[in-house]
Structure 1
């Protein structure tokens, strides 16, 4: 049963970490005059209204993007995407990763988005209908396996599951390994929550064993409300491109503003 809807959490601190890193990698890739492929396994709806009842109910954006954006350098690609989205969709608009990618990619690039949740899928199609995107209401891992190795072979895969299925922690490393075998030059990025239960630990141990040359980044932050189990978020990256470590250092410096 798929029930997760990211609108309740859009713009939170985990989004800031994930989207800053994604925007950097995409910006780096598009600086070269070579086409690329972008694949996303769990796309969500792509565009969020931070003034909606759902977003205001949790208030996570207020302690996330609203708190940290003033400290972002003006020419950071993430800040540029935020400005573009607000100019296009309104002051309360916030981009999910598919829209950040769509605004960065060029005509020569390809973008493949998968989303299983029926309502989120329809909202995704509506949000990005002006962009040259391939949409599929299909299991994202199966779609990624069918696409890889993509043409062009240069590119990036983002995996951002909701982890609402408990077996995700067991199955994701196997999916990642299978995709990496088929697409050994692809940049593979996985977001994961850091929970009080430590549910992510065994998954990470398997990922590290499968991909010894990975890059891993984590940020910690207080629970957004009493009883909330997420106390941080992480990104696991296979084949990180040049400059990723510097981008991570910039994220760390930004998150120090929370202390």
Structure 2
């Protein structure tokens, strides 16, 4: 949706869940010498300032990464991406998923990023030189690219869910992508809301019955009074080795909040 800007939500607890496990998945994939493809359908601006007006207005980062950064030791791939963002943007910088990928991927790997919002797209182009950055519908881009070259890789689908039909659309897109790219790691993020809207999607996702696919959810307190997001979910097709254990470890951290 063209009105959505992630700067208001960057660094919140949902980002911590999503980005920590994305970083672990990519860190595993790059251990093999073969190059890979990284595809992201809703990329945002890649680099955020948590001292900015947007982040300060919602307070979500203050209740998110500012509180839990100590969960991640310096050698953790998510901590490495945080450090790279701060080296580039200052002490209050936060990496979106494209920058996390940029930190962890290698020169031979390829990145394909889509973002429709004009200002976010312009910022993404500035932040991600050398990547294939497109001002286009990200789901259509992913479907047109798959199977990509190189064939190994990961696709992150991270919509705003401001459009109600996105809950119905995502399981269909995941199924299509998996049929076209059966070896690809497909990661779909979704919010867990007090109104239960996400349940319209999780049932159809489970009904896909994709062999080996996993769903991981965490719960957390609302960032402010009346805030509707109280958790974060990931549905992962072809999860890399070690991701389930990493998810369990992270889930135990969230359970302590």
Normalising by structure 1, what TM-score? 0.96
Runs of 4+ in structure 1 off by over 4 angstroms are none
Matches within 5 A, 1:1-259: 2-129=2-129, 132-213=130-211, 214-258=213-257
Are the aligned partners of 1:211 and 1:238 in contact in 2 as well (CA < 8 Å)?
no
Are the aligned partners of 2:116 and 2:135 in contact in 1 as well (CA < 8 Å)?
yes
User: 1:158-190: CA deviations, max 9, x gaps?
Assistant: 000000111101111111111111001000000
Q: CA deviation at 1:241?
A: 1.1
3-state SS of 1:163 partner: coil
Q: CA deviation at 1:39?
A: 0.2
Are the aligned partners of 2:85 and 2:95 in contact in 1 as well (CA < 8 Å)?
yes
3-state SS of 2:216 partner: strand
Q: CA deviation at 1:38?
A: 0.3
Structure 2 distance, partners of 1:70, 1:171, is 36
Q: CA deviation at 1:257?
A: 3.8
User: 1:32-52: CA deviations, max 9, x gaps?
Assistant: 101000000000111000010
Of the structure 1 ranges 231-240 and 202-211, higher mean CA displacement relative to structure 2 is found in 202-211
Are the aligned partners of 1:68 and 1:257 in contact in 2 as well (CA < 8 Å)?
no
Structure 2 distance, partners of 1:116, 1:84, is 26
Q: CA deviation at 1:73?
A: 2.1
Are the aligned partners of 1:145 and 1:178 in contact in 2 as well (CA < 8 Å)?
yes
Are the aligned partners of 2:219 and 2:255 in contact in 1 as well (CA < 8 Å)?
no
Number of matched pairs: 256
Q: CA deviation at 1:211?
A: 3.5
User: 1:179-216: CA deviations, max 9, x gaps?
Assistant: 11100100000000001111111211111111343111
Are the aligned partners of 1:68 and 1:254 in contact in 2 as well (CA < 8 Å)?
no
Structure 1 vs Structure 2 CA RMSD: 1.1
Gaps of 5+ in 1: none
Of the structure 1 ranges 210-219 and 184-193, higher mean CA displacement relative to structure 2 is found in 210-219
